[in-house]
Amino acid sequence: MLVILGFAMIAVFMTLIMTKRLSPILALILVPTIFGLFAGAGLGIGEMVMDAIASMSSTAALLLFAIIYFGIMIDVGLFDKLVEFILKVAGNDPVKVVLGTALLTGAVSLDGDGSTTFIVVTAAMLPIYQRLEMSPVVLTCVAGLINGTLNIVPWGGPTARASSALQIDANEIFVPMVPSLVAGLLVCFVFTYVLGISERRRLAKNGVAWASDRGSNRRRDLVGAVAGASTTAGSSAGTGNGATAGGHGHGFGSTASANDGTTTEAGPASGSDTDGSAETGSGLTNTALDPNRATLRPQLFWFNLALTVAVMVLLIIDILPLPYLFMIGTVIALIVNFPKMKDQQEELASHATAIISVVAMVMAAGVLTGVMSGTGMVDAMAAWLVDVIPNAMGPYMAVITGLLSIPMTFFMSNDAFYFGILPVLAETASHFGISAADMARASITGQPVHMQSPLVPAILLLVSLSGVELGDHHKKVLWRALIVALVMLAVGVAVGVIGIG
């Protein structure tokens, strides 16, 4: 019964958020509560949920203050020069911008921390997507794919867990998987290029195409168009969510005026088009990019740059807890850039929507994880999957493990899979002559899909900072991540590092 309820709960949850019948926050709370009561949790469901939420409190604090800090840095203009530089390098071409997103994500992902990667990538690239009127769903899709694929590095979570669970060296797992990693990244870049072409065509259809004349190699100057549109648009640009009457509602979760005169939300609860390409509205009038916004602090550019570099260095060398690090950074940024208490309050209020959305999402995810663990659904589902594998499939246990890792790491934590399920599968496989190393390698191939899970705080941060609905992100990224995972598994089998008994 627990197995049936577990799989049914997952199916109902995914259906509701992808068809937009419920927002992810409501679905994360309501669906597990109903199924948990059916599973016999009774009044004990409250304790299950609170235990899970308590374990996620530090993550919520990190996301909260990281959003505020980078929101402040965008407001004061720290990234304006970076936007201009990348626009010059990319030539305002959506294809180059999307490829640049992939390269930047790949470089930063080498630190093994998804939250850090998505903070840096969104801070650097989101203003460019807004300025060029590109869909932020493309940004989240590309960043999610690249980061998920690179999540198998030996200092990353899954490989380290597999190494610990099966008591083998992490490099013994990772090094033979390099061909699979390269193949996965190549597929990611193919998807990236196709997404860039799709964006170029969509923008052309909307009348904002990147143009190139073969004779003179001229390009449309969207930067100039931004300035011109900002001048003519004037006060018609919408104010950001949560801004006070005299405030400056911009940054994450801001509102922009669309080309047709309607208003579209760019925040986490924003609407989107039918194919999941969430429109940002006109990037030309987005107040986050307004060169005349009241919050600009050009005289403090070097201070803000030094502060941000210091925060990033401390983040990488890991000498302070990340939530506390961003707390201190936020306090310093507010005091220096907005000395008056009224301005500080307005700055915090302008980011209220994004803050509430992401923290509420993390807390709501605690309901799902708490119910699944507390009722025993996770253990029952794992045991059932192991039991239903027939003995005739024994020689293919490594391949089966790779296939199972795709859905199982999406719907449960890496800890639950690698410490609870993988050892059981590996013990079974050993009877058919399949080594623990082969099993470990197969188990990490599902990571491109795992990183898109609503149970992964980093992906909640990515969609919240980008102003994208989780359902829209899933519709665009999940099938692509599935293909990348299957390619990695297939290449591993083909080169003989994922064996068949």
- In the numeric block, the tokens 């969104």 are attached to 122
Residue 253: per-residue pLDDT: 37
**Percentage of residues in the chain with pLDDT exceeding 90?**
25
Residue 87: per-residue pLDDT: 66
Inform me whether the pLDDT recorded for 285 exceeds 60.
no
How buried is residue 298: exposed, middle or buried, by Cβ count under 10 Å (0-12/13-18/19+)?
A: exposed
Nearest-angstrom CA–CA distance, 83 and 127? 7
Nearest-angstrom CA–CA distance, 235 and 298? 22
Token code pair at residue 77 = 């203009």
Residue 370: per-residue pLDDT: 85
Nearest-angstrom CA–CA distance, 472 and 271? 9
| CB-based contact 279:264 (threshold 8 Å) | yes
Flag the least confident range among 15-24, 250-259, 291-300.
250-259
| CB-based contact 120:78 (threshold 8 Å) | no
Nearest-angstrom CA–CA distance, 484 and 481? 5
Residue 403: per-residue pLDDT: 93
Q: How confident is residue 229, by pLDDT bands cut at 50, 70 and 90?
A: very low
Give the pLDDT mean for 148-175. Answer: 81
How buried is residue 146: exposed, middle or buried, by Cβ count under 10 Å (0-12/13-18/19+)?
A: buried
Q: Answer positive or negative: Cα dihedral of 6, 9, 13, 16.
A: positive
Residue 232: per-residue pLDDT: 33
Q: How confident is residue 432, by pLDDT bands cut at 50, 70 and 90?
A: confident
Cβ neighbors of 82 (< 8 A, separation 6 or more) are 124
Strands 263-265 and 255-257, bridge-based pairing: antiparallel
Domain boundaries, the chain: 1-207+297-495
Q: Residue 331 phi/psi, 5° resolution?
A: -60, -45
Give the pLDDT mean for 392-407. Answer: 88
Residue 209: per-residue pLDDT: 54
Give the pLDDT mean for 8-31. Answer: 81
How buried is residue 479: exposed, middle or buried, by Cβ count under 10 Å (0-12/13-18/19+)?
A: exposed
User: Which residues in 420-430 are b (16+ Cβ under 10 Å) and which e?
Assistant: bbbbebbebbe
Q: Pick the residue with more confidence: 420 or 43? A: 43
Nearest-angstrom CA–CA distance, 469 and 24? 8
Token code pair at residue 324 = 């506390």
pTM exceeds 0.75, yes or no: no
Query: What phi-psi label fits residue 278: left (phi over 0), alpha (psi between -120 and 50 degrees) or beta?
Result: beta
Dihedral in degrees, nearest 10, Cα atoms 97, 303, 239, 86: -10
Nearest-angstrom CA–CA distance, 88 and 230? 20
Tell me how far apart the terminal alpha carbons of the chain are, to the nearest angstrom. 33
| CB-based contact 493:500 (threshold 8 Å) | yes
Angle between helices 2-18 and 352-374 (to 10 degrees): 160
Q: Residue 260 phi/psi, 5° resolution?
A: -90, 10
Inform me whether the pLDDT recorded for 245 exceeds 50.
no
Token code pair at residue 424 = 């059981």
Chain mean pLDDT for the chain: 77
Q: How confident is residue 228, by pLDDT bands cut at 50, 70 and 90?
A: very low
Nearest-angstrom CA–CA distance, 78 and 399? 48
Q: Give kind and range of the element (H or E) at residue 256.
A: strand 255-257
**Percentage of residues in the chain with pLDDT exceeding 70?**
78
Token code pair at residue 81 = 């020069």
Which range among 47-51, 216-220, 456-460, 478-482 has the greatest average pLDDT? Answer: 478-482
User: For the chain, how are helix, strand and coil distributed in percent, rounded to 5?
Assistant: 70, 0, 25
Q: How confident is residue 286, by pLDDT bands cut at 50, 70 and 90?
A: very low
